[in-house]
């Protein structure tokens, strides 16, 4: 993996200034689709696309961990314009091209059976984005969100837990930590990604993630539910991996500059909480109370859907 040096006169200025809703639904930015490629390998489940958008009409300032709003064209059944959808940005503030004029998204096409008719229903915005042609215009709002911002401390311990497209903000974090050579942010801490996916072909950004393992301070752990077994012989989900490593994770949490980030399906939270609660009880620790303290200290970051 190549390492590029990024310089920007605005780098120091935006370091702690958090841009919020620079563009709104009433006055969105018109971005241009530069890239739309499939991330799921042959034999995988569903479709997930990596999209890159040109924001030269902006600028569109954002920080790693923020989200962009996309306004799909058309109207709903009531004749009203479709509401915007939020997607975690999957690139650093410099974008995939490094010039600060793009941002990227990781989008899974939503598909489900109608509860009454059984008819296949496709998500409005996700289908729109997954089918975008290069050169197409897109209406963008935002950026928004503060919960998933990477801490400024370059010596921090960063623990990331993701399922599916929840990998998006962590791709941004990992590029920030390991791929870019930023004068104001030289990461010297440690990072651990625990990534839950159904099959090996569904490992999004697999080549990038595994290439990051050349860095001694990055650790990658998969939970591949349809291929791996947990301790009880059932499917291996992310909460099972957390339970396997909970003693080590708990030790890491004792460091004042350890941050936990959780992104993906909302159902993952309960299992992660259960794993920690079961472990810390032996120390007389009330896990919900301890987790609340971590949240107040801005060390426990969650964005689930």
| CATH code of 31's domain | 2.40.30.10
Fill in the DSSP letter of residue 128: H
Question: Among this protein's residues, is 87 annotated catalytic?
Answer: yes
Q: Quick check: pTM over 0.85?
A: yes
131 with 173, same domain: the answer is no
Structurally, how many domains does the chain consist of? 2
The answer to whether residues 33 and 168 belong to one domain is: no
Q: Are residues 192 and 140 in the same domain?
A: no
pLDDT band at 16 (very low <50, low <70, confident <90, very high): low
**Residue tagged active-site, from 88, 91, 126, 190:** 88
Let me know if residue 152 belongs to a domain. Answer: no
Q: Is residue 209 part of a domain?
A: yes
Helix, strand, coil percentages in the chain from 3-state DSSP, rounded to 5:
25, 30, 45
Mark which of 81, 109, 144 sits at the end of a domain: 144
Q: CB burial class (10 A; 0-12, 13-18, 19+) of residue 150?
A: buried
Tell me which of 6, 60, 87, 237 is the catalytic residue.
Answer: 87
Task: Give residue 5's pLDDT.
Answer: 38
The reply to whether 303 belongs to the active site is yes
Residue 112 annotated as catalytic: no
Is 297 in the same domain as 246? yes
11 noted as active-site residue = no
Its domain, for residue 219, covers: 157-304
| pLDDT tens-digit readout, 109-166 | 998 888 888 888 889 999 999 999 999 999 999 999 999 999 999 999 999 999 999 9
pLDDT surpassing 50 at residue 2:
no
Domain annotation covers residue 263 = yes
CATH number, domain with residue 293: 3.40.50.80
Residues 36 and 11 in one domain: yes
């Amino acid at each position: 993996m190549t390492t590029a040096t990024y310089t920007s006169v605005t780098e120091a200025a935006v370091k702690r200034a958090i841009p919020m809703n620079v563009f709104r639904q009433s006055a969105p930015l018109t971005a241009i689709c530069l890239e739309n490629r499939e991330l799921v390998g042959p034999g995988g489940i569903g479709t997930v696309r990596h999209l890159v958008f040109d924001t030269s009409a902006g600028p569109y300032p954002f920080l790693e961990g923020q989200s962009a709003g996309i306004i799909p064209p058309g109207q709903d059944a009531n004749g009203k314009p479709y509401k915007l959808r939020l997607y975690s940005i999957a690139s650093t503030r410099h974008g995939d091209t490094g010039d600060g004029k793009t941002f990227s998204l990781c989008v899974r096409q939503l598909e489900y059976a109608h509860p009454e008719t059984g008819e296949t229903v496709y998500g409005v915005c996700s289908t729109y984005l997954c089918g975008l042609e290069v050169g197409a215009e897109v209406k963008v709002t935002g950026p928004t969100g503060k919960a998933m911002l990477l801490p400024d401390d370059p010596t921090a311990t960063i623990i990331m837990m993701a399922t599916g497209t929840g990998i998006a903000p962590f791709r941004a974090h990992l590029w920030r930590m390991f791929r870019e050579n930023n004068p104001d942010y030289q990461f010297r801490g440690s990072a651990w990604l625990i990534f839950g996916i159904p099959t090996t072909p569904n490992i999004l950004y697999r080549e990038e993630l595994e290439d990051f393992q050349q860095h001694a301070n990055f650790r990658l752990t998969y939970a591949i539910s349809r291929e791996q077994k947990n301790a009880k012989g059932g499917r291996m989900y992310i909460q099972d991996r957390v339970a396997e490593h909970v003693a080590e994770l708990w030790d890491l949490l004792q460091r004042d500059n350890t941050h936990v980030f959780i992104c993906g399906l909302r159902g993952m939270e309960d299992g992660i909480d259960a794993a920690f609660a079961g472990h810390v009880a032996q120390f007389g620790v009330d896990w919900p109370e301890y987790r609340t303290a971590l949240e107040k200290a801005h060390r426990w970051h969650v964005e689930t859907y």
